[in-house]
A = this chain, B = another copy of it.
Amino acid sequence: MWGIELQRKSEVPLKRQIYLALRDGILSGKLQAGEALPSTRELAHELKVSRNTVNEAYDMLLAEGYVWSRQGAATRVAEGLRLDKEPASEPPAQGEAPLSLLADFRTGHPDLRQFPRYVWQQLAQKTLQAMPPSLLGYTGPQGLPRLREEIAAWLYRSKGLTAMAQNIFITAGATHALHVIADLLYEEGKEILVEDPCNRGMMQTLHNKRYPLTPIPVDAMGLLPEYLDGKRACAVYVTPSHQFPLGGILPASRRAALIRYARETGSYIVEDDYDSEFRYYGDPVAPLYAMDPERVIYVGTFSKVLFPALRIGYAIVPDKLHGRWRQLRTHTDVQNPPFEQAIVAEFLHSRKFDRHIGKMKKLYRERRHALLTALKECFGDAWRPWGDAAGLHLAVEFPGMSFDDAFAQCGRQNGIRITPVEYHCIRKGAHVDKLLFGYGHLEPDEIDKGIVLLRDFMAQSRALPCIV
């Protein structure tokens, strides 16, 4: 009756079911404008529900304007409600099913199996219990003061970097920091200078902000400052501690030239220090930030040290950008949630963070060694490593070889995930002979096995149908 079929076992209350059925009838035109609904008594009787249930359904229709009624008269369908069905749109194309991988040299992934989950749980419990109710409310766009103080203390004890907690802004990771910085520095017609090659994800972030990107070439030691040119740049995005992806440490003279360029043009240097905690011979490289805290925006992240899903990073921001940063953050995603911030603060404060880094550094050094050994065994002298002994990946040159997207795709189809350096290049052609090996997340035997598979694949690949 009236198109209403009640599901008595549903979690949707009966009154809502009645409301929904009548509303659908009205919108589809089955119940026409001006038509009288049955009296509540009548409908209640027919549907075998209480009259109150029908009354409530009618009240909902009335409150939302689907029907109208006058004292003592029938409830009638309102005017102008009929909506014809739009033709259904095409269902979205399903992404390809992921192929299973036999060797996975993706970059930038820490070994999550080693994460001290039990310690984290204990700190989480302690933090939750101690958290005052005020932290459940809006606590401001800059981040928890305690975390900012702990980060400042840690930067000082680990890298000798003096940064004030008041200049540290918590973000939802490094990508998010870059996203905020891009909005922060936006001026119509300005461009951003980036290293070439440069992390493709980060370039996409800037590209989405409608910035023109100008590539600055990179050699084995990093960005070549003699190519910095022009007055249209609002920022230079660099990875001076461990160039991504080639691995160089930017020499002091180039650092000084970069700072001079920024001062002369009034632009900023965005220093992405994405993995300098892991340096295997010698101490972490000193951040560029120390050379000019008024011109450098330093970006750090916990994704590589703790875990990627944490979504906590930070930026150290010059005074004059603070107000705009707060305003922007307030009107984009407001703030970071407080729990993770409080847990990370405790992790730092208790020095469990430092111990975790120490442990992982040892582990990753062994893995890097396993990678170099496996490459030597499988490729003899036909390769050479680039960059500093640091981070979670290694760029390797195979002189005379050429690697492109087709090679990577074909590798994928053969169960091998590996990235050519060309993937991260703006100007193509300068680094065709290099591949990137992410090793941080792999056990030594996974590395060995992977390199053997890669060698066999490279030997056959000329003959494979997927390489044209």
Footprint of B on A, CB under 8 Å?
Answer: 10-13, 15-17, 19-20, 23, 26-27, 56, 59-60, 63-66, 78-83, 86, 89-92, 109, 112-113, 115, 117, 120-121, 124-125, 128-129, 133-139, 156-157, 159-160, 171-173, 175-176, 179, 183, 201, 204-205, 208, 221, 249-257, 259-260, 263, 282-283, 285-286, 291-292, 294-295, 307-312, 318-320, 322-323, 327-328, 330-340, 388
User: Would you give 30 A-B contacts (Cβ < 8 Å), ordered by A?
Assistant: A19-B160, A26-B252, A59-B282, A63-B249, A63-B388, A65-B249, A65-B250, A65-B251, A78-B252, A80-B253, A83-B259, A89-B294, A89-B319, A92-B322, A112-B136, A115-B133, A117-B128, A124-B125, A124-B339, A136-B309, A136-B310, A138-B309, A172-B334, A175-B331, A175-B332, A204-B330, A308-B334, A309-B335, A309-B338, A339-B340
Count this chain's copies in the assembly. 2
Q: Within the complex, what minimum Cβ distance (angstroms) separates A273 from chain B?
A: 13
Q: Is the CB of A179 within 8 A of B137?
A: no
Closest B residue to A21 by beta carbon equals B160
Q: Is the interface of A mostly helix, strand, loop or mixed?
A: helix
For residue A171, which residues in chain B have a CB less than 8 angstroms away from its CB? 333
For residue A285, which residues in chain B have a CB less than 8 angstroms away from its CB? 60, 63-64
For residue A173, which residues in chain B have a CB less than 8 angstroms away from its CB? 333-334
Contact of A337 (CB < 8 Å), options: B249, B251, B260, B311: B311
For residue A308, which residues in chain B have a CB less than 8 angstroms away from its CB? 136-138, 334
Given A12-B157, A205-B331, A253-B65, decide whether A135 and B309 contact each other with a Cβ distance below 8 A. yes
Q: Is the CB of B337 within 8 A of A337?
A: yes
Q: Is the CB of A337 within 8 A of B340?
A: yes
Q: Is the CB of A333 within 8 A of B81?
A: no
Closest B residue to A26 by beta carbon equals B252
Starting from the known contacts A92-B323, A176-B333, 15 additional A-B residue pairs (CB-CB under 8 Å) come to A19-B286, A60-B286, A63-B282, A64-B285, A65-B254, A78-B253, A83-B259, A86-B292, A113-B133, A137-B309, A172-B333, A201-B330, A208-B328, A208-B331, A333-B333
Contact of A310 (CB < 8 Å), options: B56, B291, B337: B337
In order of increasing CB-CB distance, the 9 nearest A-B pairs are: A65-B251, A136-B307, A176-B333, A65-B252, A11-B157, A172-B333, A205-B331, A66-B252, A311-B337
Inter-chain CA distance A68–B231, complex, in Å, is 33
Q: Is the CB of B91 within 8 A of A205?
A: no
Given A160-B16, A339-B339, decide whether A64 and B112 contact each other with a Cβ distance below 8 A. no
Q: Is the CB of B286 within 8 A of A64?
A: yes
